[in-house]
Structure 1
Amino acid sequence: MVQSILHSHYSGIISSSPPVDLSRRDHIGRTPLHLCGLDAQSKSKPLVDVDCARITSMLKEAGYDLDARCDAGWSPLDTYATLGMPETVNVLLEGGAKVDGADREHGRTALMRAAINGNFVVAELMVEKGADVRRRAEGGTMEALGYAVRNEVIRMVSEGRQGAEEEGGEGGDIDFMELLEREAGDDYGGVGEEQCGADRDKNDKDTVVDLGCEPGKEYMRIAELLLKEGADVNVQDKNGRTPVMIAAMAGHKELVRMMVETGKVDLGIVDKDGFGSITYARTQDIREIIVESM
């Protein structure tokens, strides 16, 4: 109902006389292209996505800039990749939006936003449209794969499914979660990053651990997709850790195995403290996977 009203509202604006000012923005630099669907609930999101795709098509025909960025550097494509709206993403890409456009602060692309937020359908669509899976952000220390791996292990640890109990009980869990909390300030992406989506208090930042608790996220499928498409599995983050190290530290055997089985993992890499993947292995199973691949 709300979307139907919004659709009629946009139609009226676009067909108005005199013509609407295409350069007009709101208080944080958003154009109408950024705004549709920001408050959609998960159950209604597919329907909202269809309506937003129609509205986006109308705004495109009216002459709005598909790559316009708000004050925080987000494009409409970034917004809908984050929200998980593939129909709207497709309209933007078919209309000529830059598939690998990156924000100014972190250098993140829409594919990275999809990976950060576990939106597999959007990630798959963007790869089909030519998104660069090896594009780097954060000063060259992160790819889309790194974001997907990091948030998958956060999700798993938050659900209490890691293998730390084999090697010494709950202490391992606490250490890993404390590490993630400390690194949350580095802003590896997610619902808490300052963006041009729904308005939020700048001091009301969700932690990176909170992100892992969100249901319906498909980080594993995204990681598998990116690996098949040639993502660099050896990219080191600012602390020198590779995606395999992150997964091994969390005790995520399936994720470690999936990456190692590509045959492209360099297990000789060490982080800034001189630790290699074998040092990070939390369980015997993971150590065996790594040793067998050396």
Structure 2
Amino acid sequence: MLQRGAEINKQKSDGFTALMDAACTGHERVVELLLQRGAEVNIHSSKSRTALMVAARCGHELVVELLIRHGAEVTLQDNAGVTALMHAARYGHERVVELLFHRGADTNLQDSNGDTALILAAFYGHPAVLLRLLR
């Protein structure tokens, strides 16, 4: 389809692109192909979510790494002020939290409720993530 002129950054009604869908489902090879073909890594959905946020929320470490290598910005916030790090912390994805932390994620950013990644990890009961954020 891409060879026949399909619009690689076409957004659905929710603003999601093929890259976001592939990131959500953890299809590393598809993510890599889309990025190689020019998919915009920091395009955002109608709620200002990016492919990185979606991959972090779902715990897809290899996809997160791939997106960052292709220029995904780790400090972007969605409409609710949530970052990729906050998504990973909330859902207990320790290795993704570690990766984002080492790639410059800001642990002190707050969402629209005033929550940080640390608060979300504590509230949702993820002690390993909590300890990682406290180091």
> 1:99 Cα shift?
0.5
Partner of 1:144: 84
Q: 51, 55, 66: which is aligned to 1:125? A: 66
> 1:71 Cα shift?
1.6
Partner of 2:56: 115
Aligned 8 A contact 2:20 2:50 in 1: yes
Aligned 8 A contact 2:86 2:120 in 1: no
Please give the TM-score of this superposition, normalised by the length of structure 1. 0.44
> 1:237 Cα shift?
2.1
Q: Find the aligned partners of 1:128 and 1:223 in 2 and give their Cα distance.
A: 16
> 1:118 Cα shift?
1.3
Query: SS where residue 237 of structure 1 aligns?
Result: coil
The count of aligned residue pairs is 135
Higher relative contact order (CA 8 A, sep 6+): 2
Query: SS where residue 115 of structure 2 aligns?
Result: coil
Per-residue Cα deviation, 1:160-217 (whole angstroms, up to 9, x for no partner) = xxxxxxxxxxxxxxxxxxxxxxxxxxxxxxxxxxxxxxxxxxxxxxxxxxxxxxxxxx
Q: Find the aligned partners of 1:122 and 1:98 in 2 and give their Cα distance.
A: 15
Structure 2 alignment gaps of length 5 or more: none
Partner of 1:86: 28
Matches within 5 A, 1:192-231: 219-231=93-105
Partner of 1:211: none
Q: Which amino acid aligns with 1:147?
A: H
Partner of 2:132: 258
> 1:240 Cα shift?
1.0
CA 253–151 in structure 1, closer or farther in 2 if over 3 Å, else same: closer
Q: Find the aligned partners of 2:105 and 2:65 in 1 and give their Cα distance.
A: 14
Q: Find the aligned partners of 2:112 and 2:129 in 1 and give their Cα distance.
A: 21
Say which one has the larger Rg. Answer: 1
> 1:250 Cα shift?
4.3
Q: Find the aligned partners of 2:109 and 2:117 in 1 and give their Cα distance.
A: 7
Partner of 2:15: 73
Q: Find the aligned partners of 2:23 and 2:11 in 1 and give their Cα distance.
A: 14
Q: Find the aligned partners of 1:70 and 1:91 in 2 and give their Cα distance.
A: 20
Partner of 2:37: 95
Partner of 1:179: none
Per-residue Cα deviation, 1:6-58 (whole angstroms, up to 9, x for no partner) = xxxxxxxxxxxxxxxxxxxxxxxxxxxxxxxxxxxxxxxxxxxxxxxxxxxxx
Please give the TM-score of this superposition, normalised by the length of structure 2. 0.93
Query: SS where residue 91 of structure 2 aligns?
Result: helix
Per-residue Cα deviation, 1:77-115 (whole angstroms, up to 9, x for no partner) = 0110011101111111000110101012x1000011101
Q: Find the aligned partners of 1:73 and 1:250 in 2 and give their Cα distance.
A: 28
